[in-house]
Structure 1
Amino acid sequence: MPMRGLTIVVADVSSERFRTALSLASATAALGARARIFLQGESVSILREPIVGWEDDACANAGLPTLRAQYRDARDLGVRFILCQSGLHLTGAEPRDYDPATEFAGMVSVLTDLGDDRLLVV
């Protein structure tokens, strides 16, 4: 039986919560299911360059990937990243400030396209 997809809503700017979302989405994608991460509101700033997590030094010292590397790995596994359009306005950002692979939508669009995905908020 195929695994259900996973849609994760990131609700704040915590790099540790985003790291958790990346881990969950990457594992889901590696198992062959659809994985999406929607960054709501100000959390869109997490993916604006430079992509840095407060715990990057500790992770690197432990042989774990930085937040930037973990994002790239997730993207390479096929995880889709959707940024909140309102969040862009809130943070003064423009679509050109982000990786061209990112998508832009609102919560209604994300929920409309939820299908049979499991929904998780971190």
Structure 2
Amino acid sequence: MSDLPVLNVIVAVAEGRRLYAALEAGMAAAALGRPVRIFLQGEAAALLRDPVTFSGDDARRAAGQPDLAWLAEEAIAMEIEMFVCQSGMALVGVAATELMPHVRAAGLVSFMAAIGPDDRLVVY
């Protein structure tokens, strides 16, 4: 495990472009050796329902960029931990079995409790 502080990211709004930006930032940090954890809060929990899509996917593919599903899968392959809010899942009607593989349900308190004193926290 890295000696670098963990980058903890909260996606607090159910917008695909925010998750896309959070994944890009997380992947950049992971590429530099930093451990990364991403938490989707509230309605944002619906963004990781399998299959993952968002309205900007076509424009991104047309520009030669990956779509949101590919980015999320690559983030998981890079060992970025991803969590969705249990309360948010109930709010948007998403069951744990509907999440993309390797995404875990968690509470905000447990996510925050795992943040160390030297770790970083970013909210999108």
TM-score, normalising length: structure 2: 0.92
Distance in 1, Cα, partners of 2:103 & 2:50: 13
Matches within 5 A, 1:1-122: 2-115=3-116, 116-122=118-124
Consecutive aligned runs of 4 or more in structure 1 exceeding 6 Å deviation: none
SS at match of 2:38: strand
Partner AA of 2:7 in structure 1 = L
Rounded Cα–Cα distance in structure 2 between residues aligned with 1:82 and 1:99: 11
> Once structures 1 and 2 are overlaid, which stretch shifts more, 54-63 or 16-25?
54-63
**1:3 shift after superposition:** 3.0
SS where residue 10 of structure 2 aligns? strand
Q: Does the CA contact (< 8 Å) of 2:49 and 2:99 recur in 1? A: yes
Q: Following the alignment from structure 1 to structure 2, what is the Cα–Cα distance between the partners of residues 98 and 49?
A: 5
Cα displacement string for residues 43-65 of structure 1 (whole angstroms, at most 9, x for unaligned residues):
00001023112111111111100
Q: Which runs of 5+ in 2 are unaligned?
A: none
How many residues were matched structurally? 122
Distance in structure 2 (CA, Å) of the matches to 1:90 and 1:20? 24
State the one-letter code of the partner of 2:30: A
- The AA in structure 1 aligned to 2:101 is P
> C-alpha distance in 2, partners of 1:46/1:99?
10
TM-score if structure 1 supplies the norm length?
0.94
How much is the aligned-residue C-alpha RMSD, in angstroms?
1.4
| C-alpha separation in 1, matches of 2:60 and 2:52 | 14
* Secondary structure in structure 1 of the residue aligned to 2:122: strand
Answer yes or no: is the 8 Å Cα contact 1:5–1:28 preserved in 2: no
Q: Deviations over 1:57-80 (max 9, x none)?
A: 111111100010111111111111
Q: Percent identity?
A: 38
